[in-house]
Amino acid sequence: MTSGATRQVLQALHAGVGYGTTTTYGELARASGAFVGADGVLGARAVGTMMAANPIPLIVACHRVLAADGLGGFGGGLAAKRWLLELEGALPPTLDFSGA
């Protein structure tokens, strides 16, 4: 069972971030409408926490949600997140095949 805010975020992710595209935690918070506080602060961290708690990351494509300044985190590790994004064409392939 998900909370109302989690449901809003997951629906925004499903509807707005398709194969081969990415968004940031802040953009997803804004798109969901779930985390705009009275002071105007967006809930990028709350969205990140929701993505980190995702029990089915290949179904709920949380790998498509990035930090504003880079890849951000991923439960399967950053190498897996990068690989999935490269597979989808959302990131150019790297020349470093060491997995780092």
User: Which one from 62, 65, 66, 84 is the annotated catalytic residue?
Assistant: 62
Q: Assess whether 62 carries a catalytic annotation.
A: yes
- CA 2 to CA 44: how far, in whole Å? 18
- CA 6 to CA 54: how far, in whole Å? 10
Q: How far is C-alpha 58 from the geometric centre of its chain's CA atoms?
A: 12
- List the Cα angle 88/91/92 in 5-degree steps: 110
Strands (E), the chain: 23-24, 65-66
> Where in the sequence numbering do the catalytic residues fall?
62
